[in-house]
Structure 1
Amino acid sequence: MCLFFINGSYAETSKSEDSLAHYRQLLAEQEKKFERQRQLLEEQGKELERLKKHLDALSRQSPTPSDQSKPSAQTSTVAKQKEDTPKALPNQIPSGPVGQAPPVSKEPARPPEMPRLSETVGGVLTKKGNIIIEPALAYSYSDNSRVFLDAFTFIPAIAVGLIDIRDITRHSLFASLGLRYGATSRLELEARVPYVYRADIQRSRPVSIGSSINETFNATGNNIGDVELTARYQLTDGSGGWPILVGNMVTTIPTGTSPFDIKFVESQEVPGAMFPTEAPTGSGFFSFQPSVTALYPTDPAVFFSNLQYTYTLETDGNVGKVDPGDAVGMTFGMGFNINERSSFNLGYSHRHFFNTRVNGDKISGSALDIGQVLLGYAFRYSQRTNFNLSIGIGATDNAQDATLTFRAPITF
């Protein structure tokens, strides 16, 4: 029994000694691994220090204007630096500019897009080679009361003759098709052909002969209107804080029915009063309208203005040589972008027409002032199609009471 016990104790002691030796071996291996990692960290630290010193040396050796005149020395220095430079770390920050600047575009800055208020204000120039077809529909309404005096006065308060009071209501509808072409990056050409429907209602009542009823005359007319040819050229690109300037030239060709070609009838109730039997669809005159439009973008707003002069050629009428008089005008306002697809603008337009001349004699009191408050809305339906709505509200007696124009330019 005693020998067995001793043998059992001896076996247990041998097992504990083997375990201790195994743990000592594991500890020795871990110490060796730790030592190798410590050596790697030291080597990496030395490498970082060497890279920093090399980076400082490159910064101090940046080329100067005098060095640029020595291409051979500079080339050898760069080659030597490439041989001595180790691979850069992924997060290393370069000491100089990387890459090159993008090429400067030679195309002029395009005018900002805004709702079109007239043929000379709004929209953008058509890109070179593009064609835009623009169907448009416009409506205008005016209602004026006028006093016609066919008499003479022998004292300021007494008139002898015919005094006729007329109320003239006019409805006009214009359907037109425009074609615009971008000849160059700065030049745009446009032709527009309208079809016009007009309905005039005149109610007349003489007050000097004691008439008890009003006489009403209705005159309508529908035919092709006056064809317009327009050229627009971008003069400046708006650099240096200056506005973008666009020169415009609008030529009107009298292809519509002239006011001198319609017939008149004499009133039965108003002796001596003449009324038209149809409404004209054109002006009857050739006209040329040069103008300059200025656009000043200040995101998100665009300020605009336009100065124009209208030169009208005289023509032969049923009363002789008729010169309707030239005109000067100005339009100004501001456009505002609501978002990437819609915008609106607000402006005012005023034109002054000088006195008409018949056979060289000036007709006193024939000068006109036409002022309108303008509102415009634009919506980009797609990349090729826009919707444009403009509204004009008459601000003077001679202006139309209201105008409404819808345009839908389509780009090809």
Structure 2
Amino acid sequence: MCKTLLTTAVACSWISGFVSFAAFGQDAQSTAPGQATSAKNQADVQELVRQLQMLKVSYAQEVRRLRVLDAEVQTLQSRLAGKIPVAPLPAEAASSNESPYAAGTGNNPSIENTQAASTTQSAQVSSSTQSRSVQDVLEQQQNAYFSRKFTLEDDLTYNHYDRAELTLNGFLALNAIFLGNIAIDRVTSDSLTNDLIGRYAITPRLSVNLDVPFVGRATDYQQGGAGGSAATLDEHNSTGKGLGDVNFSVNYKILTETAHRPDTVLTLGVTAPTGQAPYGIKWVNVASSQYEEFAIPTKQPTGNGVWQATVASSFVKTMDPAIVFGNVGFIHSFTRSFNDIDTDPEVVTPGSVKLSNVYYFGAGIAFAFNDRASLSMSFSDRINGKDSLRATGGPWTKIIGSQANAATLNLGFTYALSPHTTIVTILGMGMTPDAPDFTLTFKIPYMF
């Protein structure tokens, strides 16, 4: 009986041990795959975190590049359209204060965002520094304001002429001795023109201009040899003032400046003969002796007296910090009839006048010193042939000495007084006898 009980107990212990070992084996087998899966998941998470950090760094760099490119685009747009951004865009200002990144990355995204915003602001400040002075130069050279809806400009121009000629009235004796009168004729002329100009921008590429001038002229005539003495001078003067010839023009921007071509504006204009015409003005003898001849006009003209049409084009190319510009134009004068074209006070001669076509061109360079000031230097030339007169029913006759070639060297200074007002000063120096000795111009455009 005892042996049976002992055998039964041993068998039960073996069975229970075998069951426990089997259960332990099953637990061990089930635990090993779980641990492997957990380790794999941790490795995947670490890899994703690393990739995310790399993407964050790359994103920060791309944001910085985008802001720099955006600043460059705004700089070009401000030069072309005349807009002056003075502060960062709202989105840019917000992004400089808010960071979309979490802390703990290799590079500090908030610092990168701040640097990017600072780069953008610096580029915009640079654009603002150049855009106002550049805009003033562009608008002055193209005679068109496309960025402002309406501009009222007041121009004051002073011209001075001084011409002296030696006149010999006699003959040479023995091919060496001059017998006769030696006279010196000198003409000094001063003119002051006040132009009131209105410019209206219909579209960003189309504008119209209206120029209403008021002219005042004073001419002094001197003649040597009065009374038969070359040392004696006879002097008289003549004046004239009034409305000049009104001009209306249309400006159209046919090409916008790119890296390879300039800003190009086409101008079509017409000039009405609203001023005092020079034809039919009588010349009277004012000599101190009845045996001499010294004639001067009774008054000075303020206009050309004929209708004129203008076709011109201007070109401007910005090359920081310089601005290169040029223009070329053609003026055609239409034939016009007058009731009197004779200068003799006792003669009335109806007839027609035909002025020669005028060709002009110019080129120059300007430098923008800062956001307000710029300096320019340019050369301009104006060429025309001989004018013609014709009495009614007669042939055309060329007017001797009416052809001209007026070349001028110009120095200009532009300064912005306020966001709406600019003052422009131009000094012109005549380089040929047909050009004024010097010209001084003051322009004050007020931009609405």
The answer to whether the superposition gives a TM-score over 0.5 is yes
Match in the other structure for 1:406: 442
Which 5+ residue runs of structure 1 have no aligned equivalent? 1-41, 56-87
- 1:348 equivalent to 2:346? Answer no
Match in the other structure for 2:327: 306
- How many residue pairs get matched? 333
- Is the 1:147–1:164 Cα contact (8 Å) retained in structure 2? yes
- Is the 1:140–1:400 Cα contact (8 Å) retained in structure 2? yes
CA, structure 1 residues 178+227, in 2 after alignment: closer, same or farther (shift >3 Å)? same
Q: Secondary structure at the match of 1:285?
A: coil
By how many angstroms is 1:157 displaced? 9.7
Match in the other structure for 1:60: none
Rounded to whole Å, the distance in 2 between the matches of 1:280 and 1:43 is 98
Counterpart among 199, 212, 221 of residue 180 in structure 1:
199
By how many angstroms is 1:388 displaced? 1.0
- Is the 1:110–1:237 Cα contact (8 Å) retained in structure 2? no
Match in the other structure for 1:287: 308
Rounded to whole Å, the distance in 2 between the matches of 1:312 and 1:158 is 48
- 1:109 equivalent to 2:80? Answer yes
Match in the other structure for 1:190: 209
- 1:334-391 CA distances to partner (integer Å, 9 max, x unpaired)? 0110111111110001111101212222234432110100111111111111111111
Greater Cα offset, 340-349 or 224-233: 224-233
- 1:328 equivalent to 2:364? Answer no
Greater Cα offset, 210-219 or 346-355: 210-219
Q: What amino acid maps onto 2:238 in structure 1?
A: A
- Is the 1:211–1:269 Cα contact (8 Å) retained in structure 2? no
Q: What amino acid maps onto 2:153 in structure 1?
A: E
Match in the other structure for 1:274: 295
- Is the 1:290–1:308 Cα contact (8 Å) retained in structure 2? yes
Rounded to whole Å, the distance in 1 between the matches of 2:45 and 2:139 is 70
Rounded to whole Å, the distance in 2 between the matches of 1:94 and 1:176 is 59
- 1:228 equivalent to 2:247? Answer yes
- 1:193-236 CA distances to partner (integer Å, 9 max, x unpaired)? 11111111100124895565221111112211111212211110
- Is the 1:115–1:388 Cα contact (8 Å) retained in structure 2? no
Counterpart among 341, 351, 355 of residue 318 in structure 1:
341
By how many angstroms is 1:332 displaced? 0.6
- 1:124-170 CA distances to partner (integer Å, 9 max, x unpaired)? 53336x110111211111111135689999xx999999875321111
Q: What amino acid maps onto 1:368 in structure 2?
A: A
Q: Secondary structure at the match of 1:349?
A: strand
- Is the 1:171–1:199 Cα contact (8 Å) retained in structure 2? yes
Match in the other structure for 2:56: 92
By how many angstroms is 1:261 displaced? 4.7
- Is the 1:110–1:124 Cα contact (8 Å) retained in structure 2? no
Question: Percent same amino acid among aligned pairs?
Answer: 26
Rounded to whole Å, the distance in 2 between the matches of 1:117 and 1:215 is 47
By how many angstroms is 1:178 displaced? 0.9
Counterpart among 127, 137, 150 of residue 147 in structure 2:
127
Rounded to whole Å, the distance in 2 between the matches of 1:223 and 1:161 is 42
Q: Secondary structure at the match of 2:255?
A: coil
By how many angstroms is 1:123 displaced? 5.5
1:379-390 equivalences in 2 (<5 Å): 379-390=415-426
Q: Secondary structure at the match of 1:409?
A: strand
Counterpart among 47, 50, 56 of residue 49 in structure 1:
47
Q: Secondary structure at the match of 1:239?
A: coil
- 1:284-315 CA distances to partner (integer Å, 9 max, x unpaired)? 22222211111111111111111111211233
- Is the 2:156–2:192 Cα contact (8 Å) retained in structure 1? yes
Q: What amino acid maps onto 1:113 in structure 2?
A: Q
CA, structure 1 residues 93+243, in 2 after alignment: closer, same or farther (shift >3 Å)? same
By how many angstroms is 1:187 displaced? 1.0
Q: What amino acid maps onto 1:237 in structure 2?
A: T
Rounded to whole Å, the distance in 1 between the matches of 2:139 and 2:234 is 38
Rounded to whole Å, the distance in 1 between the matches of 2:419 and 2:263 is 24
CA, structure 1 residues 248+351, in 2 after alignment: closer, same or farther (shift >3 Å)? same
Rounded to whole Å, the distance in 2 between the matches of 1:389 and 1:245 is 24
Rounded to whole Å, the distance in 1 between the matches of 2:235 and 2:135 is 47
CA, structure 1 residues 149+356, in 2 after alignment: closer, same or farther (shift >3 Å)? farther
CA, structure 1 residues 403+89, in 2 after alignment: closer, same or farther (shift >3 Å)? same
Q: Secondary structure at the match of 2:279?
A: helix
By how many angstroms is 1:405 displaced? 0.9
- Is the 2:226–2:233 Cα contact (8 Å) retained in structure 1? no
Q: Secondary structure at the match of 2:203?
A: coil
- Is the 1:223–1:281 Cα contact (8 Å) retained in structure 2? yes
By how many angstroms is 1:117 displaced? 10
- Is the 1:370–1:397 Cα contact (8 Å) retained in structure 2? yes
By how many angstroms is 1:283 displaced? 2.1
Rounded to whole Å, the distance in 2 between the matches of 1:299 and 1:273 is 57
Match in the other structure for 2:263: 244
TM-score by length of 2: 0.65
Q: Secondary structure at the match of 1:133?
A: strand
- Is the 1:394–1:401 Cα contact (8 Å) retained in structure 2? yes
Rounded to whole Å, the distance in 1 between the matches of 2:365 and 2:375 is 9
- 1:215 equivalent to 2:234? Answer yes
